[in-house]
Amino acid sequence: MSESTELPPELEAPPEEVKAELADDMHIATGTREPILEAAGVTMQFGGLRALNEVTMSLKEGEVIGLIGPNGAGKTTFFNCLTGLYTPTSGAVTLRGKPMPQDPSRVTEAGVARTFQNIRLFPSMTAMENVLVGRHVRMKQGPVSSLLHGPRFRRSEAEARDRAEKLLAFVGLTRFSEELARNLPYGDQRRLEIARALATDPSVLLLDEPTAGMNAQETEATRQLIFAIRDLGVSVVVIEHDTKFIFTLCDRVLVLVQGELLVEGTPDEVRGDPRVVEAYLGAPPEEIEAQLHTTEGES
């Protein structure tokens, strides 16, 4: 019997008023649908190992792209090249036509945020404090104001807390605002990490396996949350092993195999491509079909 995907109230899509307030605060959407993040011929070499070989991608504003492939295909390496953790051996990454900084903190300032395969929260800080840490990159008070806690500092702190409260409401975690991050259920920790990333006001959000370890309800809630993030004007790239999740979420899907871009297209195009079946199942489609017929005949 399959798990129910009916969502409890706290996991339902964010309230429209919260979405509207955040969209107004973040000022991300331009409505142009122009390419925003582009990778051209990205190659990553580690000694004698070529982890990526001339991978190209173009992400448009307001678009959700899925990145799939077998283990070891180079998906996370590609993310690391997009976010300044790695400097590509060759090729280029650009954001709004400008070279991507080769420094993760400057990448964040430029408008690209990410989450990781393994949750990287501050476990001894509250949910609110974790989101405030993400907001720090956008706080502009000077050192003197910070030391003296002057009016500018207090105003900046109040604005940051207001944004953090909205983001916690957006991801359905208002009730956990003052709870230590380590005490949150696993799925809520994932949502908190997304809220912290959104606190940086990104125009591009990269999600590395956001539904790993989740049940059916939590996976559906994550799908709804990503749609809501897209509605804010944020463009999204998602790495995920759950192909059903990807095919029902994304506008386009890229398939990486052994560091190379194998297939790119709509979910329907990718789902029906025999090369994708072979990459995931390890044999040509006709061999797989023959094996299935043989098994059926023996039963």
Element (H, E) at 238: strand 235-239
Q: For residue 86, what are its two tokens? A: 């790695």
Q: What CATH number does domain 32-111+202-299 carry, 1.10.132.10, 3.30.1330.90, 3.30.70.20, 3.40.50.300?
A: 3.40.50.300
* Helix ranges restricted to H, the chain: 16-26, 75-82, 104-110, 127-135, 143-148, 151-170, 186-198, 216-231, 243-247, 267-271, 274-281, 285-298
CA–CA distance, 10 with 202 (Å, rounded to integer):
24
Q: Is the dihedral of CA 211, 214, 218, 219 positive or negative?
A: positive
What is the pLDDT tens value at each position of the chain, 299 positions in all?
Answer: 455 567 777 666 677 888 888 888 777 766 677 899 999 999 999 999 999 999 999 999 999 999 999 888 999 999 999 999 999 999 999 999 999 998 888 999 999 999 988 889 999 999 999 999 998 876 665 443 444 455 666 777 888 899 999 999 999 999 999 999 999 999 999 999 999 999 999 999 999 999 998 998 999 999 999 999 999 999 999 999 898 999 999 999 999 999 999 999 999 999 888 888 887 766 555 554 454 445 445 54
CB of 50 closer than 8 Å to CB of 43: yes
Q: Report how far residue 32's alpha carbon sits from residue 60's, in angstroms, rounded to the nearest whole number.
A: 9
pTM: 0.85
The whole-angstrom separation of Cα 95 and Cα 206 is: 13
Helix or strand run (H / E) with residue 44? strand 35-46
Q: Burial level of 286, CB count in 10 A (0-12/13-18/19+)?
A: exposed
Closest CA to 81 of 95, 71, 68, 97: 95
Decide if 259 contacts 51 (C-beta within 8 A).
yes
Question: Whose CA is closest to 183, among 130, 219, 135?
Answer: 130
CATH 3.40.50.300 segments of the chain: 32-111+202-299
HSE toward the beta carbon, residue 146, CA cutoff 13 A = 6
